[in-house]
Amino acid sequence: MDLFKIFEKFLPTEKILGYKKYGNGHINVTYLVVSDKNEFYIVQKINSYAFKDVDLLMNNIVTVTTHLKNKNIESIQMLQAVDGKYYVKENDEYYRMYRFIDKTMTFEKPEGLKTVKNAAQAFGKFHNNLSDLDASKLGEVIPHFHDTPKRYNDLLIAIKEDKLGRLKNVSREVEIVQKYADKLSLITDGLSSGEVELHITHNDPKINNALFDTENHEFRSIIDLDTVMPGSVLYDFGDALRSLFTGDKEDSTEYEKVVGNPEIYKAYLSSYYNETKSFLTKREIELFPYAPFILTIECGIRFLEDYLKGDVYFHTKYEEHNLVRCRTQLNLASSIIENIDLYKQITSNVVGGK
Ligand code: ADP
Ligand code: GN1
Ligand code: MG
């Protein structure tokens, strides 16, 4: 990969002075670049295994960022290459570039309940700000992304095929997933019946996909808009809590330490509910306690499937990496569902019987 050549196709009037690999994402490869005009940029190699239709992907992102910009909301600013496209194709690989949002930082784990509340407010406002964007302008960039029952079926196929002979290492994990198989369709059933509504959602609201101000740690901007598309707000609610509960321990071998945290749940729910109560349905509120469980077990299922398939989707650093990640998520999912009455109680206290 020639980063200099790629950069030139976006900005022929500037030159790269230096660059380094940046961030902890599992999908794309990200570089922080500084130019001879002392401007900072993010250049990313797009993961074209995950994103099969790069035109659709970039169209979604530009549609959303333009909508936010028109409302004066700080957002990532994609650059157009000299040919007018929002990506450059080089040796069958796709690259994109955007401005670094200055004086911002990401967190890998919540730094106290203030970060939790800020993140909840951020994603609540994100849902609100996109509620007047015509959903038909966005394509389904990864079909069935949070269709948890389908994710489970995909896992069953990977188990059957056992391409790498790894099934023998995961009997305990398969058993845990099977134990909860009847609880995986709560959100998708709600969508089918109409009790859970379609919104434009982020679908990957990890804590490190929100930028915070370096000085006062206030929320600045939501990033990593790759999976923005129509979905349920419960996907974002559940996955944000999954990420906040997991913190920086997603890759930890001490997986029994990755458990739910009722204080974090309460803080997130209170701030999120404040932003979104005008449009939430009764069923969505009922499913709040289940959403972190569903999104967490789904994530565990996806890591397990990828482990069985030979680590084709998520970036991994060693052979058992996806299996370790799967274990942390399954431990977390179990700890949430085992305490579901507590999460239900917190929900009814916060929501006060809407
Ligand atoms: P991935 O899909 O690999 O997770 P992200 O878009 O989340 O890629 O970018 C990886 C990291 O780069 C982020 O967690 C954040 O730290 C940083 N980053 C990305 N875009 C920006 C931006 N516009 N301004 C500042 N930092 C950014
Ligand atoms: C991936 O790209 P990143 O690291 O923000 C994944 C999410 C998973 C997450 C698990 C497009 O997110 O769905 O929840 O890893 N993103 C995609 O850490 O698959
Ligand atoms: Mg990311």
Ranking 112-116, 301-305, 335-339 by mean pLDDT, the lowest is 112-116
Residue nearest to atom 19 of ligand 2 (CA): 27
Q: Does residue 58 line the site of ligand 1, with CB under 6 A?
A: no
353: pLDDT strictly greater than 60:
no
Ligand 2 atom with the shortest distance to the CA of 24: 4
Q: Distance of CA 80 to CAs 6, 101, 103, 293, Å?
A: 12, 17, 23, 40
**Distance (Å, rounded) from C-alpha 139 to C-alpha 137?**
7
| DSSP strand pairing (16-21 vs 199-201) | unpaired
Evaluate whether 138 touches 200 at the Cβ level (below 8 Å).
yes
* Sequence-separated (6 or more) residues with CB below 8 Å from residue 276: 124, 127, 128, 233
Q: Does residue 231 line the site of ligand 1, with CB under 6 A?
A: no
Residues with CB under 6 A from ligand 2: 25-27, 50, 204, 206, 209, 224, 226-227, 250, 299
User: Residue 6: which of 25, 24, 39, 33 has the closest Cα?
Assistant: 33
Structure tokens at 147: 């269709």
pLDDT digits (tens, 9 = 90+) for 129-148: 999 999 889 999 999 999 99
Q: What is the pLDDT of residue 221?
A: 95
Residue nearest to atom 11 of ligand 1 (CA): 23
User: What value does the mean pLDDT of the chain take?
Assistant: 96
pLDDT digits (tens, 9 = 90+) for 343-352: 999 999 999 8
Confidence of residue 1 (pLDDT cuts 50, 70, 90): confident
Candidate of 224, 226, 227, 239 to mutate for ligand 1, largest count of ligand atoms within 8 Å of Cβ: 224
The number of angstroms, rounded, from the C-alpha of 267 to the middle of its chain's C-alpha atoms is 20
Evaluate whether 62 touches 75 at the Cβ level (below 8 Å).
no
pLDDT digits (tens, 9 = 90+) for 248-280: 999 999 999 999 999 999 999 999 999 999 999
Structure tokens at 41: 């940029």
Q: What is the pLDDT of residue 157?
A: 98
Cα-Cα end-to-end distance for the chain? 55
**Distance (Å, rounded) from C-alpha 40 to C-alpha 46?**
19
Whole-structure pTM over 0.85, yes or no? yes
Q: Distance of CA 1 to CAs 48, 52, 290, 342, Å?
A: 15, 20, 44, 51
Q: What is the pLDDT of residue 354?
A: 47
